[in-house]
Amino acid sequence: MRRKRNVQVVSNEKFTGIKYTEPASYAAGFSAVKVSLDHLSKETGTLRGIKILSKMNQKDGFDCPGCAWPDPDDKRSVLGEYCENGAKALAEEATLKKVGPSFFKLHSIEELSQWSDFQLGKSGRLTEPMILKPDAVHYEAISWSEAFDKIGESLKKLDHPDEAIFYTSGRSSNEAAFLWGLFARAFGTNNLPDCSNMCHESSGVALAETLGIGKGSVKLDDLYKAEVVMIIGQNPGTNHPRMLSALQKCKEAGGKIISINPLEEAGLKKFKNPQRIKDSLTGGTALTDVFLQVKINEDIALIKAINKVLLEKHAEGNAFINETFISDKTHGFEQLKADLQNHNSLRLIEQAGIRIEDFNAAIALLAPAKKIIICWAMGLTQHKNAVENIRECVNLLLLKGSIGIPGGGTCPVRGHSNVQGDRSVGIMHHPSEALNKSIAQNFGFTPPTKHGSDTVHAIKDMHEGRAKVFIALGGNFAAAASDSYYTAEALEKCSLTVNISTKLNRTHLIAGETSIILPTLGRSEKDIHNGSNRKLSVENSMGKVHSTRGALEPASSNLMSEPEIIGRIAEATLGAAHVVPWKALSCDYESIRNKIAATIKGFENYNDRIADNKEFYLPNNARIADFSKLENGTAKFTINQVSNHQLEADEFLLMTVRSHDQFNTTIYGLDDRYRGVHNERRVIFMNAVDMKKNDVEEGSVVNITSTYDSVVRRANNFIIKSYDIPQQNLAAYFPETNVLIPIDQYADRSNTPISKSIRVRIEKVQ
Ligand SMILES: Nc1nc2c(c(=O)[nH]1)N[C@H]1C(S)=C(S)[C@@H](COP(=O)(O)OP(=O)(O)OC[C@H]3O[C@@H](n4cnc5c(=O)[nH]c(N)nc54)[C@H](O)[C@@H]3O)O[C@H]1N2
Ligand SMILES: Nc1nc2c(c(=O)[nH]1)N[C@H]1C(S)=C(S)[C@@H](COP(=O)(O)OP(=O)(O)OC[C@H]3O[C@@H](n4cnc5c(=O)[nH]c(N)nc54)[C@H](O)[C@@H]3O)O[C@H]1N2
Ligand code: SF4
Ligand SMILES: [Mo]
C-alpha cells in the first residue's frame, strides 16, 4: 500500500543502556513506597502528589485508574489504599506536562513517530481538540463543535452503519460505556470491539459455557477463607499488586498457595506489605507453597494430570472429589472420566515440564482441600487453546465441588479498572436478544441484531475496505493489537480515525485520511457541571459496583467528559430530533444511570444503591451454585485437548509480557526491577542451555522472526538476558513484539490474539 505519510509504525529500536541486578526475592516493601512517590513527585510535584494519593480508593474519592482489583471493605489506611502501580497510573494522569496546539505545531506526526512509546507518553496530557487534515502531517486545533460536525458528517456519509467501528478500552465509566454502546446501536451497528477481545474474552467464553456466567464467582472475602489458592498465568506483584495483601491474609489464615508459571515471579515468592511496619521487621510473608514451573501453554496437560490423579486416588477410597456436588450440580462427568482414562499421568506431567516431586506436593495440598480458588490472567487467555485452558481449570473446581461455596470458585483477574463494568452495561459485539429487546422497549428504536466485529475482525474489516470510520473511546489500538504493520495499514485506509484520549499515543500518529483527537477528563479529575462535581460509577473484578468522583483540577479548561463527548457525537450524527435526547441525557449522569437501571438486569435502583458511597454486587449465578440457565440445569464438564506444538529444534514459544514499569502500551519507565532488568525494554529472557545451543551470550543482540505464512515478521534488536525459564520458551515485552503476531493467529472461539505463545526463531546480529 502506498502510504501518504511517512510514519514509523513501531516504537523505535534504539537501545537505552541496559543494567542488570539479581531478580528480586520479594515484592513491594519500602522501595515500592519510594518508587510511588518518586513517580508522583516527578510528574506533579511532591505536595500535590501526596495530596492526590490520599484521595485514591477512599470513600467519596476516585477509583484507582490502574487495574480492576477490588478495594477491601475496610479501606482507608492512613496513606490511602493504593499500590506502587496505582501511584504510577495516577502520576501519568495527574502530570503537569501538556500536549497542546503549540506542541503539534512544533512536531509533525512523522517526527513524533520516531519517538519511543515511552517518550510519547511522557510528553503529557492532551489539552485541546485537534485535527489532522488530509495530506497534512501536523495536527492543528479545531473547536469542539466543528469536530463533532466533521465526525457526524463522516458517519452519515457511510453506505452502511457497519462501515463504522466503535472501539472501547477499559477505563471508561459505566455511564460513558452505556451511552457508547447505545449510540453505536442507534446508529445501526454492533461493531463494538473492545480491549477485552485481546484480554479476558477467553475467560468469558469458557465460563459462560460451563458455569452460565462469563465473570468470576468469588468475592475478596473468599480469598481470606480459601484452603488453597492456585495462581495460574498471572503476575500479581506487578499487575495487581494489592492482590498480594489479600494473599497475605489468606496465608495468615492458614491457606496455601500453588503458583503455576513459566517464570518464578518475585511477587509470588514473598510479600513485604509496605503498609505494615511489622513486615519490614519480620521480612514479610512467604506466599507460594508449591511452585510449578510449567512450560508455556502446557497448562492443560498439567491440570489434566491433577484431575486424573485426584480421581484415581479417590477411587482408592479417599474422599478427594465431591461426588454429591458432581451428581447434583454437573453434567458430563462420565465423559470426562473416560477421557482421562486415555491419558498417562506421568506423560502429562512430563509434557508440562513439571518435576514429579513438585507435582506430588501440589496434589498433597489439593487432595484434602474443599475450598479452592483458581486465579488466572493473560498466561491462560492468550493462546490458540485459551478457552480450553480455562475450561480445564473449571473441570478441577467442579470435581472438587469448589464453586458457589465460601472460599471456593473462579477468579479471572481483570485488567483495566472498569473493563468488567463496560461489558456489564453493553459493550459487546454480540448482544443478547434480551439486551436488544430491552433497548427497544426503553428507547424506542430497534437495535441491529446482526453480530458486529471484535478487535481482530474490525482490523480485517478496515484493511479489506468494509469499514472506513474508526472511533476509539480510549486505548491505544494501533499498539495494543497484533500484527502492527497490518493494523497500521488498516487504520491508515480509513477515511476518518477519531481518538477520545487523555494522553498522546501511537494510535494518534497512525491516522486515517483525516484524524481527530478529542481530549477527555481522567478518572482523577473534577467533572464540574452547573457548579457541582459529578460522580460516575465503575465495577471491579469481583462484580461490585461503586461510585468514583474526581478530585484534581482538570489538565485543561477545554476538556470534555466522556459521556458528554459521546452525547455530542451522537447528536451530530443522529440529529437533535432523534428519539434519544442525546445531548441532554449525556450531561445528566443520574438520568443515564436510571436508563441503565431500566435496561440492564441487576442495576435496579442504581442511583439509590450508590448514594452516600454505598456499593452493591451484581447478580452472579455461579456464586450461589445456581446453574439452572444451562443445559440440564447443571454446570458442564468439558473435554479439552492437550497442546501439540511440535517445535523444530531451532524454534521457540515466545510469551509477550508486561514489565514492572508499564500499563499496557503506556510505558512508565524503563525498569523491570523484580526481574533484575534496568533501563532497557528491548530484552529477551532465555534459558542458559538454549543460549549455549544457539551460540548467544548474555548481552548478545538478536532479531526475532515469526513465519506462520508467506510473510516473515520481524522484531529487531533485542538483548539476550539469561533467565530461569523453561527450555525452548522465551519472554519479551509487549507492545514491542506485537509485530510478530499474525492477524489470523488467535484463540479458537474467543478470537484473542496468541500473545503468549508465538512460534519464533532468533537470528544473531553481528
Ligand atoms: N502495572 C500494571 N498493571 C496492569 C497492567 C499493566 O500493564 N501494568 N495491565 C492490566 C491488564 S489490561 C491486564 S489484562 C492485566 C494483566 O496481568 P497479567 O496476566 O499478570 O500480565 P502479563 O504480564 O501478561 O503476565 C502474564 C503472566 O503469565 C505468565 N505466563 C505466560 N504464558 C503462560 C502460560 O502458558 N502458562 C502459565 N501458567 N503462565 C504463563 C507470565 O510468565 C506472566 O507471569 O494486568 C492489568 N494490570
Ligand atoms: N503482545 C501483546 N499484546 C497485548 C497484550 C499482551 O499481553 N501482549 N495484552 C492485551 C490486553 S490484556 C489489553 S487490555 C490491551 C490494551 O489495549 P488498550 O486498552 O487499547 O491500550 P492501553 O495501553 O490500555 O491504552 C492506553 C491509552 O488509553 C488512553 N486513556 C487512558 N486513560 C483514559 C481515560 O480515562 N479515558 C480515555 N478516553 N482514554 C484514556 C490514553 O490515551 C492511553 O494512551 O492490549 C492487548 N495487547
Ligand atoms: S492493585 Fe490495582 S486498583 Fe489497587 S491500587 Fe494497585 S493498580 Fe490500583
Ligand atoms: Mo487486559
Q: Which residue's C-alpha comes closest to atom 12 of ligand 2?
A: 199
Q: Which residue's C-alpha comes closest to atom 33 of ligand 1?
A: 379
Residue 51 pLDDT more than 80? no
Q: Which residue's C-alpha comes closest to atom 10 of ligand 1?
A: 415
pLDDT at residue 2 in the model: 56
Tell me how far the alpha carbon of residue 71 lies from the centroid of ligand 3, in angstroms.
8
pLDDT tens per residue, range 371-425:
999 999 999 999 999 999 999 999 999 999 999 999 999 999 999 999 999 999 9
652 inside domain: no
Count other Cβ atoms within 10 Å, centred on residue 724.
12
As a whole number of angstroms, the distance between CA 385 and CA 393 comes to: 13
pLDDT tens per residue, range 437-485:
999 999 999 999 999 999 999 999 999 999 999 999 999 999 999 999 9
Pairing relationship of beta strands 125-126 and 98-99 according to DSSP bridges: parallel
Contacts of 277 (CB under 8 A, 6+ apart): none
Q: Measured from the CB, is residue 417 less than 6 Å from ligand 1?
A: no
276 inside domain: yes
Q: Which residue's C-alpha comes closest to atom 5 of ligand 3?
A: 82
Q: How confident is the model at residue 41 (pLDDT cuts 50, 70, 90)?
A: confident
Contacts of 588 (CB under 8 A, 6+ apart): none
Residue 572 pLDDT more than 90? yes
What φ, ψ does residue 130 adopt, rounded to 5°? -135, 150
**Mean pLDDT of all residues in 84-104:** 94
111 inside domain: no
Tell me how far the alpha carbon of residue 419 lies from the centroid of ligand 1, in angstroms.
15
74 inside domain: no
Which is nearest to 758 in space by CA: 647, 644, 652?
A: 652
pLDDT at residue 39 in the model: 82
Look up residue 373 and give its amino acid. I
As a whole number of angstroms, the distance between CA 521 and CA 565 comes to: 10
Q: Which residues pair with 356 in a beta bridge?
A: none
Cell of residue 523, nine digits = 478518572
What ligand 3 atom has the least distance to the C-alpha of 67?
Answer: 2
pLDDT at residue 301 in the model: 98
Check if the beta carbon of residue 7 is closer than 8 Å to that of residue 510: yes
60 inside domain: no
Q: Map grid coordinates 514451573 to a residue.
A: 293
pLDDT at residue 83 in the model: 87
What φ, ψ does residue 168 adopt, rounded to 5°? -130, 135
Which residues line the pocket of ligand 2, CB cutoff 6 A? 169-172, 195, 198-199, 378, 382, 415-416, 473-477, 480, 500-503, 505, 520, 522-523, 562, 656, 664-666, 734-735, 737-738, 755
In 158-270, which residue ranges form alpha helices assigned H by DSSP? 174-187, 201-211, 220-225, 236-239, 243-252, 266-269
Residue 687 pLDDT more than 80? yes
Average pLDDT over the chain reads: 95
Q: Interhelix angle for 46-53 vs 84-94, to 10°?
A: 120
CA–CA distance from 74 to each of 28, 57, 78, 244 (Å)? 21, 11, 12, 16
Nearest ligand to the CA of 417 is: 3
pLDDT at residue 52 in the model: 79
Tell me how far the alpha carbon of residue 170 lies from the centroid of ligand 2, in angstroms.
8
Q: Which residues pair with 423 in a beta bridge?
A: none
Q: Measured from the CB, is residue 662 less than 6 Å from ligand 1?
A: yes
Q: Measured from the CB, is residue 232 less than 6 Å from ligand 1?
A: yes
Domain membership of residue 239 as a residue range: 214-412
pLDDT tens per residue, range 612-667:
999 999 999 999 999 999 999 999 999 999 999 999 999 999 999 999 999 999 99
Which is nearest to 242 in space by CA: 85, 373, 79?
A: 85
pLDDT at residue 436 in the model: 98
State how far Cα 479 lies from the chain centre.
14
Pairing relationship of beta strands 469-473 and 758-764 according to DSSP bridges: unpaired
Residue 207 pLDDT more than 70? yes
Give percent of the chain with pLDDT exceeding 70.
99
CA–CA distance from 108 to each of 355, 499, 728 (Å)? 55, 18, 42
Which is nearest to 664 in space by CA: 65, 40, 180, 106?
A: 65
The 3 state secondary structure assigned to 552-602 is: ECCCCCCCECHHHHHHHHHHHHHCCCCCCCHHHHHHCHHHHHHHHHHHCCC
Residue 76 pLDDT more than 60? no
**Mean pLDDT of all residues in 573-591:** 98
For 372: left if phi > 0, alpha if psi spans -120 to 50, otherwise beta; the answer is beta
Cell of residue 67, nine digits = 487495574
Check if the beta carbon of residue 544 is closer than 8 Å to that of residue 70: yes
Q: Which residue's C-alpha comes closest to atom 19 of ligand 1?
A: 378
Look up residue 75 and give its amino acid. K
Count up the domains in the chain and report the number: 1
pLDDT at residue 283 in the model: 85
360 inside domain: yes
As a whole number of angstroms, the distance between CA 701 and CA 714 comes to: 14
What ligand 3 atom has the least distance to the C-alpha of 89?
Answer: 7
Cell of residue 750, nine digits = 474467543
pLDDT at residue 281 in the model: 80
As a whole number of angstroms, the distance between CA 74 and CA 55 comes to: 15
As a whole number of angstroms, the distance between CA 122 and CA 118 comes to: 6
Cell of residue 431, nine digits = 448482544
User: Rounded to a whole number, what is the largest CA-CA distance in the chain?
Assistant: 77
Tell me how far the alpha carbon of residue 656 lies from the centroid of ligand 1, in angstroms.
9
Tell me how far the alpha carbon of residue 352 lies from the centroid of ligand 3, in angstroms.
32
Q: What is the DSSP string of 646-665?
A: ---TT-EEEEEE--TTEETT
Residue 611 pLDDT more than 80? yes
153 inside domain: no
For 182: left if phi > 0, alpha if psi spans -120 to 50, otherwise beta; the answer is alpha
pLDDT at residue 78 in the model: 43
Q: Which residues pair with 586 in a beta bridge?
A: none
pLDDT at residue 80 in the model: 53
Q: What CATH number is attached to the domain comprising 245?
A: 3.40.228.10
**Mean pLDDT of all residues in 38-42:** 83
**Mean pLDDT of all residues in 173-193:** 98
Q: Which residues pair with 758 in a beta bridge?
A: 654
Q: Which residue's C-alpha comes closest to atom 47 of ligand 1?
A: 239
Tell me how far the alpha carbon of residue 70 lies from the centroid of ligand 3, in angstroms.
8
187 inside domain: no
As a whole number of angstroms, the distance between CA 40 and CA 668 comes to: 11
Q: How confident is the model at residue 59 (pLDDT cuts 50, 70, 90)?
A: confident
As a whole number of angstroms, the distance between CA 539 and CA 422 comes to: 8
Check if the beta carbon of residue 646 is closer than 8 Å to that of residue 638: no
What ligand 2 atom has the least distance to the C-alpha of 415?
Answer: 14
pLDDT tens per residue, range 703-753:
999 999 999 999 999 999 999 999 999 999 999 999 999 999 999 999 999
As a whole number of angstroms, the distance between CA 151 and CA 343 comes to: 58
- State the pTM of this model: 0.98
Nearest ligand to the CA of 70 is: 3
pLDDT at residue 121 in the model: 95
Q: Interhelix angle for 589-599 vs 433-443, to 10°?
A: 130
Residue 371 or 33, more confident: 371
**Mean pLDDT of all residues in 331-347:** 98
Cell of residue 274, nine digits = 509496605
